[in-house]
Amino acid sequence: MADDGYEMVIERGKVREFASSVKSTHPAYLEDEAPVIPPTFLRASAFWAPRRAARPRPEGGGGGSGQRRPGLGLHAGQEYEFFGPPPRAGTKLRVTSRQEDSYTKEGRRGGTLTFTVTVQEFRDGDGNLVAIGRNTGVATSRPATQG
Amino acid sequence: MTISWDDLKEGLTPEPWDVGPLSRTDFVRYQGASGDFNPVHHDEVFATGAGYPSVFSVGMLQAGILSTYVTNWLGPENIRRFTVRFSEQVWPGDTLTCAGTVVKKYDDGGERKVDLELTCTRQTGGVAIEGAATFVIPT
């Protein structure tokens, strides 16, 4: 179900940090004053989304050993589609998300795998769709050492 | 260095790119940049307590490295689609090899485009990611 979403601002320093973290030295990311975003940059929408782990928790409970129970969810796939050049630093995006699909498969080593496809839509200030993210998550019944 | 439309042919494979060995610091750097703070990727006590032999990489780190490989080749402004499916996990000390092949060259409503198939492979030969990308090739 679509919601009203939230704002995400593309910032030059964040683009530089993200590009470096995925081992890019391309001047279009590191030197341009208004760089385009790397293809998977929109994952950093986690910093703008309400109720996400990337948001500050002054009361503690930031996760990790002793604080957080292991989850059994894994990331199975991700897609990004751009309807023109990727957005540049300085762009304000409106982010909405919705669940697109959910299905189950039998795992190779027994147990049922539940896949959920979640779509994020990113629109500019004029309401134009500039990018779509499509996240496939899978919930397993035990920790997986592969896949 | 820009590759020309005439040079792009179906079946063309750019030079593969080796990255690594990857460290826990690489994982942490990506987690800080992306905002994915799942402790299974940096907290050894947490990861082993959950049944894993050690921490392991964030899938989106190797996906991002694969995207770096293709944007280096065909240009950051020109990408229009990037998709990945995760297979094997990536562990500290792994060295990854990014590779790709042009599988389709076409005109899409006046825009010249190429589709690529991509792989990110561990030093064991195990495939960590199968992916694909679409780029426009400016005139």
What confidence tier does A147 reach under pLDDT thresholds 50, 70, 90? very low
Interface of B with A in 74-93 (CB under 8 A): 75-89
In Å, how far is B122's CA from the nearest CA of chain A?
A: 13
pLDDT tens-digit map of A81-108: 999 999 999 999 999 999 999 999 887 7
Task: Provide the pLDDT for residue A111.
Answer: 79
Whether the predicted interface score ipTM is above 0.90: yes
pLDDT tens-digit map of B16-72: 999 999 999 999 999 999 999 999 999 999 999 989 999 999 999 999 999 999 999
Q: Which domains does chain A have, with CATH numbers?
A: 6-139 (3.10.129.10)
pLDDT at A122 over 90: yes
Q: Smallest Cβ distance to B37: which of A23, A63, A78?
A: A63
Q: Provide the token pair at B11.
A: 């079946």
Cβ contacts below 8 Å, chain A against chain B, sum to 152
Query: What is the gyration radius of the CA atoms in chain A, in angstroms?
Result: 17
Q: Smallest Cβ distance to A43: which of B38, B60, B65?
A: B60
Q: Which domains does chain B have, with CATH numbers?
A: 7-136 (3.10.129.10)
Give the distance between the most distant pair of CA atoms in chain A.
52
Tell me the β-bridge partners of A94: A7, A123
DSSP H helical ranges for chain A? 12-21, 27-30
In Å, how far is B6's CA from the nearest CA of chain A?
A: 22
B37 contacts A54? CB cut-off 8 A:
yes
The helix (H) or strand (E) run that includes residue A76 is strand A73-82
* Burial profile A60-81: b = 16 or more Cβ within 10 angstroms, e = fewer: eeeeeeeebebeeebbbbbbbb
Report the mean per-residue pLDDT for chain A. Answer: 87
CA quadruple B107, A38, A40, A96: dihedral positive or negative?
negative
Instruction: Flag whether the pTM goes above 0.90.
Output: yes
In this structure, the number of other CB atoms found within 10 A of the CB of residue A4 comes to 6
Q: Which residue of B has its CA nearest to A48?
A: B35
Q: Does B100 touch chain A (CB under 8 A)?
A: no
CA quadruple A6, A10, A11, A16: dihedral positive or negative?
positive
Would you put residue A116 in left (φ > 0), alpha (ψ -120 to 50) or beta?
beta
